[in-house]
Amino acid sequence: MAASRNFRSAEHLPNLRPGQEPASPDELPRQRNGVTPQMHGRYPDYDVLDESGHWDEVTRRVVLERVDKVPEIRFFTRPEAATLGAFCDVVMAQDREPKIPVLNMVDAKLFAGQLDGFRFAGMPDDRETWRRAAQGLDAVARQHGCEDFACASQEVQERIIDAFHKGELRGEVWDDLNPKRAWSVLMRSVLSAFYSHPWAWNEIGFGGPAYPRGYARLGVGQREAWEGAPAFERDPVKDTHERHVEGYE
């Protein structure tokens, strides 16, 4: 992740202090088995899909389709997809291929009307929130002298997103749409899509669906024989404290 990023209210992202930056993905081992975003991870010889034979048929089909059948963009327009695709890449630090197709997964749910069943008071339907957020990101990019958000430099994109998560965007769309609430709506969907994908499971060493085999070794520091062993031993909690890059709750 670039050193200039500072998304202090996003729990999964580091808060950067002057002179500090988190570990680069390039410090992690190169993935040797399976796929992770950008092909780096703490578990380079682990591929959760190697265990797919132990899953029930329905689960196996659902998980494999996330890799083999990436849905086409059908809900968002081309300009909206360009803007929101850039947004998803920046907030999830997907700087190069391979990337988890976050926006495609979000688009599929919105196209099918598979919403969460609740929304913030005073906020529109999530589908409308996504569309208006795309318009708002482009509007703020124009305030920075850019044609739209997707065409803005990485520095400008990060500056806009930093203001977005702080609820500090103003003008046009953002005079009617609460940016803090909109941030929560978008990030809820982005994180759900990202961490439902087996490439993300490989990155974090998640053992995958437990049914029907189940897990037996539940003690601290224990893992099943088929779970991946980390090759990068730096304790992430201790490391973030030492670097002063803790995320904010």
pLDDT greater than 50 at residue 38: yes
In tens, the pLDDT along 117-169 reads 888 999 999 999 999 999 999 999 999 999 999 999 999 999 999 999 999 99
In the predicted model, is pLDDT for residue 47 greater than 50?
A: yes
Residue 15 has pLDDT above 70, yes or no: no
Digit-coded pLDDT (tens) for 55-97: 999 999 999 999 999 999 999 999 999 999 999 999 999 999 9
* Each residue's pLDDT tens digit, 175-233: 999 999 999 999 999 999 999 999 999 999 998 998 888 888 888 878 888 888 788 66
Domain spans of the chain, in order of start: 25-233
Mean pLDDT of the chain: 86
Percent of the chain at pLDDT > 90 equals: 67
- The identity of residue 90, as a single letter, is V
pTM: 0.83
3-state secondary structure the chain: CCCCCCCCCCCCCCCCCCCCCCCCHHHCCECCCCCCHHHECCCCCCCHHHHHHHECHHHHHHHHHHHHCCCCCCCCCHHHHHHHHHHHHHHCCCCCCCCCCHHHHHHHHHHHCCCCCCCCCCCCCHHHHHHHHHHHHHHHHHHCCCCCCCCCCHHHHHHHHHHHHHCCCCCHHHHCCCHHHHHHHHHHHHHHHHCCCHHHHHHHCCCCCCCECCCCCCCCCCCCCCCCCCCCCCCHHHHHHHHCCCCCC
